[in-house]
Structure 1
Amino acid sequence: MGSTEAAANSVLGEHWAVWSTFLGPDLAKCIASFDVAGMVVESLTPSDARAMHIRLKGAEWYLGAVQVRPDIPEHWAVFLKSIPSRFRIFEDSLCLFHRGYELEVEDNRDYVEYREWEVSGLVSSVHWEDSGARETIFDPYDNMQHFRRLGEADELLHGQFSSAVGETLMRCSDLDPNLTQRLHAALKAFESHETAEELAHVSLSCRRFTEKLADCLYPPREEKANGRKVGQAEYRNRLWAYIAENVTSDTTRELLIANVEDLGKRIDRLDSLSNKGLHSIVSSSGVNRLLLSLLVVAHDLISLRPPGGAFPYKPYETTIRFFMEKVLHQEEGSSQDAEE
């Protein structure tokens, strides 16, 4: 049993930061008692992994889930090397892998599985995808070294983006807590959408966030800036004016303005499709790119100014006013009681 526990702990990444739904002894007990089968799902977000686990945990055949890290040798051997890739899911379509070069000799594609996916109702369409030389003896990248680099790159990217996203969230809260709430609304709408119509509404939250960001960085003014109106409705012009005032490099200024224009066009396109009732044309990948663009623009614009400066009291005005009115009311009541 000791060797079984050691094997289970190595798979669960005993000395690594690995997300898992079960403990080493539980997996060791299952390995010792049953023939355990597994499958690998790549590019699964932590929230999707948790949702999948919640849906499957009641099934008798389901044991649990574990995060696969390419830099763990046991994961390479057990999951990545031993389990071949079968299909790819992109949005609501599924592509079954096959070797295109084998068709010149014999068509050995699995049409039974193809039809099973078609009639399952789980995806809107099924296609074939040529996997070529990937995961064959002709694949020079099908080795531990390549997957270790892949794991390191994944970790580095997460670190870099997590730092930038964390800074953006912190600075948004400093500028106006409502900014964070609007960003949360956009991300939550995307994460929990179930229909194309709900997906289309993400653009509304993105627009509201961008408008509030413009209010914080460059409040509306009656006078024009660089010949453009910068009133309440002209939030994009205000962002351009903010860039013009805070960037001296022509190249950097042009790049930032182009990013703002691109973000605005993405929002406008989704709004237009939504208003026309063409929700089915809105894709999750398109909305995902919109959210990425939103985060990039927000990070770039907020970073133009160092933190600090005058505290923004406006988001707190209602609470402060309510508190002061309550205090005054209590003082007036105390004065009346004293007079009586």
Structure 2
Amino acid sequence: MKVAYHFKCTEIQERYDSLFYKIVFTNLLNLNEPFISSKILIGDLITYEMIRKFDKPSDFLNYLFQTKGDNWKRILFHKTKYFIEQDIFVICFETIQKEIAEKLHASLKNEEHYLGSFEIDNAIELHWWLYCECIGPKFRILNRDINILLDTDNEEEKETAEHFKELLKGIPFKKVNTEFSNYRYSLMDDNHNFENAKRTAEWKKSTESLFTTITDEIIAKLTDTAPELTDRLWTINHTFSNAQTGEQYALAMTSCRRLFEYIVDCLFPATDEIIDGHSLKKDKYKNRLLEFAKRELKSETNIDLIVTNTVSLFDEWSKLYELSNKGVHNEVHRQECRRCIIRTILLLDDLISIKQTPFEVKVKAEKFFNDFLDDRNASR
């Protein structure tokens, strides 16, 4: 999500942008998050003209913060008056994970000049104007490296880069580099307009809703026959979210594979049968999955889709194993592992789509009966 962090700066005598870079970036790096990647827009919040369009300043603030909306917001409400009374400096992450945004806010909330943060919705014209038009991209952060964004490679821009390198001194980045933005988000960028930004924001929301629907259906249907599914999915997500090394990402991938094997065991338990020359024994997961699909559907197209997606998933697992053994950079591990998790989820969606009737309900009652027997024995 896109999140802006706000600071009051009217009373600061020194150059305030360098002060806020140091505060925000140092706190961000101190979080020691394994993966951070975002363009960063910076600048002053130009609100004077916008406030006049509202009957009351409070109406402007309510609309700015989207107080009745469901956007993520962490405003320090005892400081909201400064959005009206003082100049505000903004450091805006074009994309940041909600968990990291939350942690960064928590690390900043006791800073004297910090006013709060909230999610920016580019489908709202006020947000687009203030956080796309009035401020611009200046940095790209990638883990512990930062790039200074330059429009071109002329001498003036090179001097600008050196100036910003000075401002960033003392912040514990591993590398400070330069990168050409080629006038992205400027008047020379044909796609830099509200209509395009609105369509992008709406697409992101609809895609999020689409994936929510998929995961809801997976849980609602597959947990009937695979009661451990939720715990296993949670383990995958927890391992992935906290992974920092290739070995840890490989562990998340292994959890994906074990989840696949568990689901196949639930849908089509192993047998000694051999059908069309294919063994259906314990270790023949692909064969058993294919046989399950054949028995549920007569459509060759859908069966071919299952086969293709399964092969793709197995290839992804093999690739991750190879990366782990080669000691590849952790960023590559994370990207490949994320794709592996997504493909695993999509395969689960394939499986529920081919089931024409409800899944057999299997309730795991071992704990209930053990507790019952323990209580009965204790009462004797």
Give TM-score, length-normalised by structure 2: 0.75
Sort the Cα spacing of 1:148 and 1:169 in 2 relative to 1 into closer, same or farther, 3 A: same
Corresponding position of 1:17: 70
Q: CA deviation at 1:108?
A: 5.0
Map residues 184-199 of structure 1 onto 2, 5 A cutoff.
184-199=234-249
Q: CA deviation at 1:309?
A: 4.6
Equivalent of residue 78 in structure 2, options 26, 39, 52 = 26
Q: CA RMSD in A?
A: 3.0
Cα deviation per residue 1:241-289 (whole Å; 9 max; x = unaligned)? Answer: 2223333332332222111111112123323444x37364652111111
* Counterpart Cα distance in 2 of 1:116 and 1:225: 70
Corresponding position of 2:255: 205
Sort the Cα spacing of 1:310 and 1:162 in 2 relative to 1 into closer, same or farther, 3 A: closer
SS in 2 for 1:87: strand
Contact 1:197/1:280 (<8 A) preserved: no
* Counterpart Cα distance in 2 of 1:215 and 1:140: 53
* 1:172 has 2:222 as partner: yes
Cα deviation per residue 1:141-177 (whole Å; 9 max; x = unaligned)? Answer: 2222221212211221111111111111222322222
Q: CA deviation at 1:91?
A: 5.4
Q: CA deviation at 1:228?
A: 2.2
* Counterpart Cα distance in 2 of 1:213 and 1:287: 20
Worse-superposed segment, 225-234 or 284-293: 225-234
From the two aligned structures, give the one with the greater strand fraction: 2
* Counterpart Cα distance in 1 of 2:329 and 2:237: 20
Equivalent of residue 152 in structure 1, options 202, 217, 237 = 202
* Counterpart Cα distance in 2 of 1:283 and 1:5: 47
Worse-superposed segment, 208-217 or 133-142: 133-142
Cα deviation per residue 1:307-337 (whole Å; 9 max; x = unaligned)? Answer: 6353214x33x22542553476478x3xxxx
Contact 1:211/1:235 (<8 A) preserved: yes
* Counterpart Cα distance in 2 of 1:170 and 1:8: 40
* 1:271 has 2:318 as partner: no
Q: CA deviation at 1:88?
A: 2.6
Corresponding position of 1:134: 184
Contact 2:224/2:359 (<8 A) preserved: no
Cα deviation per residue 1:69-125 (whole Å; 9 max; x = unaligned)? Answer: 01122211221211101233345654432224x5499755513535876985435x5
Corresponding position of 1:50: 102
Give TM-score, length-normalised by structure 1: 0.83
Worse-superposed segment, 234-243 or 203-212: 234-243
Worse-superposed segment, 298-307 or 84-93: 84-93
* Counterpart Cα distance in 1 of 2:169 and 2:333: 21
Cα deviation per residue 1:24-65 (whole Å; 9 max; x = unaligned)? Answer: x53432224543211111222222221222233233333221
Give the gaps of 5 or more residues in structure 1.
Answer: 334-340
Corresponding position of 1:322: 370
Equivalent of residue 111 in structure 1, options 162, 167, 178 = 162
| Structure with higher RCO (Cα < 8 A, 6+ apart) | 2
* Counterpart Cα distance in 2 of 1:220 and 1:31: 65
From the two aligned structures, give the one with the greater helix fraction: 1
Q: CA deviation at 1:185?
A: 0.5
Aligned length: 326
Corresponding position of 1:238: 288
Give the gaps of 5 or more residues in structure 2.
Answer: 1-50
Corresponding position of 2:57: 4
